[in-house]
Structure formats: C-alpha cells, structure tokens
Amino acid sequence: MKCYPLQFVPILKERLWGGTKLGDVLGKPLKSVNTGESWEVSAVPGDVSVVANGPYAGKDLQRLMEEFGAALLGQGVIERFGTEFPILIKFIDAKLDLSIQLHPNDALAKERHNSFGKTEMWYIMDADPEARLIVGFNQEMDRERYKNFLKEDRILEVLNHESVKEGDTFFINTGKIHAIGAGVLLAEIQQTSDVTYRVYDFNRRDKQGNLRELHTELALDAIDFSNKDDFKVSYAKHKNHVNTMVDCTYFKTDFLNLESDYSKDIQERDAFTILMCVSGEGEVSTTDGSVNVKKGETVLIPACAPAFTLNTAGIQVLEITI
C-alpha cells in the first residue's frame, strides 16, 4: 500500500437542527442551510467515505480495507474489529438544540441492532454566547422518577446543563443522557455506530409536519441513571507537545498545539492515525506523499506509514488512534 495521508470527500448531512457553520467556519461545500453534520471518515454502510486525493482517489474506505487490510488498519485493529472500521469522525453544527438522547452499550447494541455501541467524545470548536450542552442528570435519578418526569413533560428540569467555550472537551459514555445545544460547533469522535435512542425532542415537527420518533421504551434499559460528574475532560495545552485528552477502550485522542514543525515515529503503533485540524493550517507528510490541511479538514495516515511530519507555523490538531 502507498502510505500517503488520505483525505476523504466530506459526507454532508441535512438535519432539522443544522445550520451553515460547517460552510461558513469550516469551508464545507454546503447544499442546504440546515446542514448539521460532516462525516469525515466513515465506513457506515450507505455512508462510506471516498478518497479525495492521490493514487487512491475515487476508491472508498471499505474497498481500501478489503484490499490492504493490516497495511491500512494495523494488525492489532484487525484482531479486535476485523475489517470493520471501528470509529466514525464528524464535525457537527447545531443551529438549534439537538434532541435529548443516549446510546446503548456494545452488548445491547449487538443484541438489538447487530452494531457497535456508541462511546463518543466532543471537542468544542466554536460556541455562541450562552451556548451549552446537556450531559447527565442534575440530581439522583432512578427508572421510575425518570419515567414520571418524562410523562409530565418536565424532563428538562432534571438534566444537567453545561456552558461551553472553544477548547472544552467532553467524554460521553454509553448510557449517558446528552444533547448538543444551539450555537455549538464541535468535532466528534465516536465508535462506528448510528444507533441513537431519542427520548425528548421539544415537541418539534419535521418538514412534513410529523413529530419525530421517540425511543422511550428502548432507552429505559440503556440509560445510566447515576449522577456522575465524569464527563468534562481536563487536559493540558502545552505547545509543541503531546497532550493526552482521552484514552479509552475504543480510541485514544491527543491534543497537538504546534507552533513549529513536528515529527512522530508511529511504526510501533500497529494502527492507523487520524488527524483532525481544529485550528490553523499545515502540511502532513509521510514517506509516500503529503497533503495540506487547514481548520475543518481531516487526514487518515495508514498503519503502514512509519512516521509522519507536520510542517506548520501554527496548528492545533486532534490526533486519534486505536
């Protein structure tokens, strides 16, 4: 395999709650003023990313995995996940509040949907004044109290609201009730899964005037009712240094805050590397090629690359691996 940095054509998703920041701030080629998501690296069936640059331009990620296997993914990744790409990378623009939702764990998702669960993390790239997230409950909760608040249309009273600003980072375990609030633009790293249990949607209607489906009963067995303050990620932002943000079973994310050129040996990693540019710009190079990246762009470096270099005068990057 040619181990050059791969970029993919963004998969843009129109959403009821979406806006225009993915175009206005990140330069995505929007076709709708309600664009909520840009899927940057995806192997979700029906939404598989297509390479945009270099010798493999036009080939999709699924084909590359089948053709190159461990050279692309890493043998350790294949041993854990087979030839299923284990994570999904997105940028999300919430012009309006998203629905209150949660995601099942691996066991429940496998049993019900033949899918991975959905553990995820968020990095806030931009936030309007007063923007916030909903993460978890603001008091002790149990199944019956939760059902009563939901039935009485008072669920918002018992949810925890978090004000946010650029750079804030959140880790969302499976089962954690959550929602992205209006005015937030963020980078999302998650397990490859599109399974969401929507439990409250502000009684909004879609373009056809219909209320969106709720998953009240499915969610009851999936919700983590504990009142845990375990979601805000504390991390350093030292310049020209690797700053660990999240290191969990499903992905590891570091924050690179670079003011000068940076090189990293990754030949012992035995896994692919993804770089999400959240600020600035630079050039990502490996032995087989290079690509320019700027804020809002994403690069996948195949596992066969022994190292990568970032040439820059100023860039902030999320470095993601397995």
Q: What is the pLDDT of residue 283?
A: 98
pLDDT tens column, 5-49: 999 999 999 999 999 999 999 999 999 999 999 999 999 999 999
CA dihedral defined by 54, 56, 59, 62, rounded to 10 degrees? -120
Residue 75: strand, helix, or coil? helix
User: What pLDDT, on a 0 to 100 scale, did the predictor assign at position 210?
Assistant: 87
**CA distances to 60, 199, 221 from 218, in Å:** 33, 9, 6
Binning pLDDT at 50, 70 and 90, where does residue 209 land?
confident
Tell me if the domain spanning 11-220 has CATH number 3.40.630.10. no
Whether residue 72 is predicted with pLDDT greater than 80 in this model: the reply is yes
Cα separation of the two ends of the chain: 20
Which of helix, strand or coil describes residue 266?
Answer: coil
pLDDT tens-digit map of 232-263:
999 999 999 999 999 999 999 999 999 999 99
β pairing state of 35-41 and 87-94: antiparallel
Could you identify the residue written with the tokens 């709720």? 214
**pTM beyond 0.75, yes or no:** yes
Residue 316 Rama label (left phi>0; alpha psi -120 to 50; beta): beta
Write out the residue limits of the CATH 2.60.120.10 domain(s) in the chain.
11-220, 242-321
Residue ranges of alpha helices (H) inside the chain are 21-24, 61-68, 70-73, 75-81, 106-113, 143-151, 216-220
Superfamily of domain 242-321: Jelly Rolls (2.60.120.10)
Residues tagged active-site: 198
Please name the residue that has the structure tokens 């949907």.
113
The average pLDDT across 172-185 equals 96
**181, 130 contact by CB (below 8 A):** no
> In the 8-state DSSP scheme, what is residue 181?
P
Report how far residue 137's alpha carbon sits from residue 157's, in angstroms, rounded to the nearest whole number.
9
pLDDT in tens, 92-143: 999 999 999 999 999 999 999 988 899 999 999 999 999 999 999 999 999 9
